[in-house]
Amino acid sequence: MPYIDLKTNVTVSEEKKTALKSALGQAITLLPGKSEQWLMVGIQPDYSLWFQGSDAPAAMIHVEVLGAPNPSAYENMSAKLCEICAAELRIPQNRVYVCYSETANWGWNGSNF
């Protein structure tokens, strides 16, 4: 039941969105028990985003998960997400923030897990 929301001030083509979705689907497996089967992805290109006072290419990634993976899994996930932004969007890794949210309750299909 993970959700990844990627906001960037970079223009992203439909082809690149598909590549990002696939890369994020692979990356989510770095969190124990998570898979692309249950992953929802949101990509917001051309987002008004400034970092360090500059509108140079940047990204904000929010990962929401059911449960609480261990900190080393988050460390690996952050590294991979920054790599994806560098490879797919040409955003320097030092211009990417990654935020994690954990929840004990997650609804789907009219009920909760």
Specify the CATH number for the domain of residue 34.
Answer: 3.30.429.10
**pLDDT above 90 for 12:** yes
The CA-CA-CA angle for residues 71, 3, 16, to 5°, reads: 110
23/28 Cα distance (integer angstroms)? 9
Residue 68 lies in a domain: yes
Residue 32 lies in a domain: yes
Average pLDDT for residues 53-70, to the nearest whole number? 95
User: In the sheet that 96-103 helps form, which strands lie side by side, from edge to edge?
Assistant: 40-44, 3-8, 59-66, 96-103
- Provide the domain limits for residue 67: 3-106
Quick check: is 111 in a domain? no
What average pLDDT is seen over the chain? 96
Tell me the CA end-to-end span of the chain in Å, nearest whole number.
9
pLDDT the model gives residue 113: 85
pLDDT over 90, % of the chain: 93
